Amino acid sequence: MNARFPYEDPTLPVDQRVDDLLPRMSLEDKAGLLFQQFVMIGDLDAPGMFGSASIRELLAQGLTHFNILFAPSARQIAQWHNMLQDEARTHPLGIPVTIASDPRHHFTDNPATAMMAGPFTQFPEPLGLAALRDEGLVERFARLVRSEYRAVGIRAALHPQIDLATEPRWARQSTTFGEDAGLTARLGVAYIKGLQGDEVGPESVSVMAKHFPGGGPQKDGEDPHFSYGREQVYPGGYFDLHLEPFKAAIAAGVAQLMPYYGMPIGLAGVEEVGFGFNKDMITGLLREELGFDGIVCTDWGILSNTCWGVEHLTYEQRMLKALDAGVDQFGGEHRADVLVSLVRTGQVSQDRIDVSVRRLLREKFRLGLFDDRHVDAERADTIVGTTAARAEGIATQAAAHTLLTNAASGPARLPLRAGLKVYAEGLSAESFSGRATPVDALSEADVAVLRLQAPWEQRGDGKSFESFFHAGSLAFPAAEIERITQICRTVPTVIDIYLDRPAILTELAGSAAAVLANFGACEEAVVRTLFGEEEPRGMLPFDLPSSMTAVEASRPDAPFDTADPLFPFGHGLRYDDRSPQPIAAAAATESSPLPAH
């Protein structure tokens, strides 16, 4: 394409192109850049989500950043992306669209923490990557994510989540790297390098790490998506510890950061309002003290819904407060017309808007979107979810398993031997094909295998967004404990438990012959691990508390703070380990030697 204006010339420096484009933009063009809305893949004229206009209408209003939800085939995503870019090009300045996504490359069934994988390759959740303690693996994984995202046109990642999982009850732990600040910082940097490369460029996916300044220390473990979880508390005085992964991310060149919904309580000199409205945090700490000059995008819907500490303000007043705090973009919002009105009435200056517009334009130029905005839709299906990538994903799901206990001998000693008669719950009969004989009755079984999930207390009606947040007690109900222990008394039993957050396993670990933990694993990965076709190499990324009493007495901001954990951070046995199987041991952190297994 011949360049009409200097900003269209790919040979010019990025800053020169931004300087040329900025004065050509109308106020409406500029305002639209400061909003990023959810959209559905499909008809550009279909009604928008959450009361917004259609995509075509949003483009006409100047919006050029969109966050996609459910994904069809790779080819369909790529074709839709190209159609969207063609529509954007018809507008006078032809500003390209930036497509973003929440995490998609993990085995999960919980859309509150990550999007459904759809056509993308599935690895374990980030807790599983943390269990493997391998920076090289994390960087390779992120490069795979980059390749698959770029194939369909996704150029911004709303991840990694580098919060510290210091509150065992918090519902958002599955997409963190666990409880330890040092491990989280190291793996977070590897993740950023894998997605962005050494610096953001045309081959990159721009990273929006979250949730600054650390979303883990939630009061009672409740999540600030909801009013009852709006408070972040620091009774242990560990605010600075939660900053460590973000300092490492900034040093690594992370392009974007997202503040969390929560409001800090009891921090000296800090206003008690949500982080997206908090000038002390965004301008004072992030911009001035830490020197971050990248994009700050709010978490989704803070003007409309999760406006903690400023509920009494109008929509316009909330927007003013967030802009004054120093944010550049509003996630999950689309009311660019409100911002235009605030500028025209003199409540926001053009200069203030231009500061954020420069950052947002610069990122589009750095990503090369102005120069090569289309993707090869015909090739997308051959790049995304290849046979080799899926095989590596399943192998990693298996390897991330963490062996908590193992029988000294007998049929339930892991790995299971072939040919056993197995009573199974949570695994299909087909998954044992060629390995064991499934039976329907405990009386017929040599061994029982129970696939469990960390317990939670149901919130909402079971169908609402709230219901996807696994919150509340970590203890199994008494009736379920009795049911499982009765199985263990009847036949040697192996438990494989999915830990999207810690679970109280005190009674079960004492009854079962062997206990495995996984962090997002399909049936095939679980069964391969059970039969020794893959070796479990994981080490716990957080402590497993011994009781809810210990959890309730711990400080939400303090790592490794539950008394006498049943299994500590770093615990993980190997199948050839014949040493005694301790049920409790001292915690190990990244600053002390990990157990040798």
Backbone angles phi, psi at 413, to 5 degrees: -65, 125
According to the 3-state scheme, what is the secondary structure of 250-278? HHCCCCEEEECCCEEECCCCCCCCCHHHC
User: What are the tokens at 483?
Assistant: 């049911």
User: Can you name the residues that pair with 451 across neighbouring β-strands?
Assistant: 496
- Res 593: pLDDT: 28
Residue 592, pLDDT above cutoff 60? no
Delimit the domains of the chain by residue range: 6-383, 389-553
Q: How confident is the model at residue 466 (pLDDT cuts 50, 70, 90)?
A: confident
Across residues 351-372, what is the average pLDDT? Answer: 98
What percent of the chain is modeled with pLDDT above 70? 95
User: What are the tokens at 457?
Assistant: 């207390």
Burial of 299 (0-12, 13-18, 19+ CB in 10 A): buried
- Res 109: pLDDT: 60
User: What are the tokens at 509?
Assistant: 């670990």
Residue 286, pLDDT above cutoff 80? yes
Residues 429, 560: Cα–Cα separation, whole Å: 39
Q: What is the pLDDT of residues 173-230, one digit of tens each?
A: 999 999 999 999 999 999 999 999 999 999 999 999 999 999 999 999 999 999 999 9
Note the CATH number of domain 6-383: 3.20.20.300
- Res 112: pLDDT: 53
What percent of the chain is modeled with pLDDT above 90? 90
- What's the mean per-residue pLDDT of the chain? 94
Across residues 269-288, what is the average pLDDT? Answer: 98
- Res 51: pLDDT: 74
Which of the residues are catalytic? Answer: 299
Q: What is each CA distance from 270 to 226, 242, 274, 279, 302, in whole angstroms? A: 22, 16, 11, 9, 19
- Res 578: pLDDT: 62
| Angle made by CA atoms 417, 420, 423, in degrees to the nearest 5 | 125
- Res 1: pLDDT: 55
Across residues 526-549, what is the average pLDDT? Answer: 98
User: Can you name the residues that pair with 295 across neighbouring β-strands?
Assistant: 256
Long-range contacts of 561-569 (CB under 8 A, 24+ apart): 561/166, 561/236, 562/168, 566/504, 566/505, 566/506, 566/509, 567/404, 567/505, 567/509, 567/540, 567/543, 568/540, 568/543, 568/544, 569/178, 569/179, 569/180, 569/539, 569/540, 569/541, 569/542, 569/543
Residue 482, pLDDT above cutoff 60? yes
* Domain 389-553, CATH homologous superfamily name and number: Glycoside hydrolase family 3 C-terminal domain (3.40.50.1700)
Across residues 271-275, what is the average pLDDT? Answer: 98
Lowest mean pLDDT segment, chosen from 23-37, 50-64, 192-206: 50-64
- Res 93: pLDDT: 97
Q: How confident is the model at residue 586 (pLDDT cuts 50, 70, 90)?
A: very low
SS3 of residue 441 by DSSP: coil
